[in-house]
Copies of this chain bind each other. A is one copy, B any other.
Amino acid sequence: MAKKQLRVGMIGYGFMGRAHSNAYKQVGQFFPSQHEVVLKAACARDAEKIKAFANQWGYESTETDWRKLIERKDIDVVDICTPNNMHKEIAIAAAAAGKAILCEKPLAMNVPEGREMVAAVEKAGVPNMVWYNYRRIPAVTLAKKLIDEGRLGRIFHYRAKFLQDWTIKSDLPQGGQGLWRLDVAAAGSGVSGDLLAHCIDTSLWLNGRLDSVCAMTETFVKERMHNLTGKVEKVGIDDACTFMGRYENGSLANFESTRYARGHKALYTFEINGEDMSLFWDLHDLHRLQIFDYKVEGKLRGWSSIHVTDNGGDHPYMQNWWVPGLAIGYDSSFTHQVADFIQGLESGKPQGPTFRDALETQCVLDAILDSAKSQKWVDVPKG
């Protein structure tokens, strides 16, 4: 039986361009379906660089103008891996062209942009998804499963952190290739849009709507050389952001993100405390889920570290990989996302996070930045 082609047009070739491309290439071997992913075209302004990228990853062709890519008849899916300030324009154009869209996170620079993008894809009726990939780390997916099974009982607390340390050096420039995340014009915000966005997406998925937040931000290094202008300029992004909040279900939120936590490379952790069970996960040991099950007999109760690598059917996604005890990496989360995206196409049940889901995260992000500025509690707007 011939497979149906899913022809990808990739815009961008950085870290995420590589991560997604690896997923497209792996998905057919580990998660076979009725679709065959074809790397049709890669696009970036720099003709030489995008050609090198296309050669290395096996894209059949290149473009230097994303509008051309979108117009191509032989592209089914547009993958947006550009800096954040380009998401909206490309996504709206791609939707108008009837393409399915896979967009990097955060969805947009702000809520108004996000609303336009949601309207565009929903009007066009095109499949759409945002790359909040951590939902599909098997240990995180297992957490979702346990919550959906009602094992936690009433939730009291949700705590998340995303700590890094790579921008402590004050001579690191802002802006330009690889460093656009430090440039407010390209990124829209700092750690909030880059790191907290992941924490918020997971949290909304696991624990439901956040009603209100109160935030604090700080920019520790106030000025940096700007790579594009060649001048020392004021830094516009948040280096650190902490916020408290209240969920619709009555539980309390405590979130923090920073790039100034010496010793932490990408320490995304979350902990949920329920009446009957607590859960903890840590990106640095992404293959483990820690649980405390109050229903265990008293003297045996403890925090249990589940090595989420069983291929016997119980651990999400793992039946498609190796044997128990053999961990898969960060990159597999993208492979899982492509597998689920395809499954959504085939089943007609779109898999999240859709643009609409990601807009909810954007609403929290905007509320946080509002709160940090006004120094007041802020109600999270509805998407």
Interface residues of A (CB under 8 A from B): 15, 18-19, 21-22, 25-26, 28-29, 32, 56-58, 142, 145-146, 156-157, 159, 163-166, 168, 214, 216, 218, 220, 240, 242-244, 246, 250, 252, 254, 256, 258, 260-267, 273-278, 283-288, 290-294, 296, 298-307, 309-310, 312, 314-315, 321-332, 375-377
Contacts and interface: CB of A to CB of B under 8 A. Distances in A.
Contact of A302 (B159, B214, B291, B328): B291
B262 A326 contact: no
Contacts of A15: 322-323
Instruction: Tell me how many chains of this kind the complex includes.
Output: 4
A82 B196 CA distance: 44
A292 B306 contact: no
Contacts of A168: 156, 275
Given A216-B252, A263-B273, A273-B262, A328 B329 contact: yes
Q: Counting chain B CB atoms within 10 Å of each CB, which of A15, A22, A145, A330 scores highest?
A: A330
B278 A263 contact: yes
Contacts of A321: 331
Contacts of A262: 156, 273-278, 292, 294
Q: Counting chain B CB atoms within 10 Å of each CB, which of A57, A220, A243 scores highest?
A: A220
A8 B145 CA distance: 41
Contact of A252 (B26, B242, B252, B285): B242
A267 B298 CA distance: 18
23 contacts: A22-B29, A156-B240, A156-B261, A156-B262, A157-B240, A165-B273, A214-B214, A214-B375, A243-B244, A254-B254, A262-B274, A262-B278, A264-B325, A265-B323, A285-B285, A285-B327, A286-B327, A291-B302, A298-B310, A303-B304, A326-B330, A327-B327, A328-B330
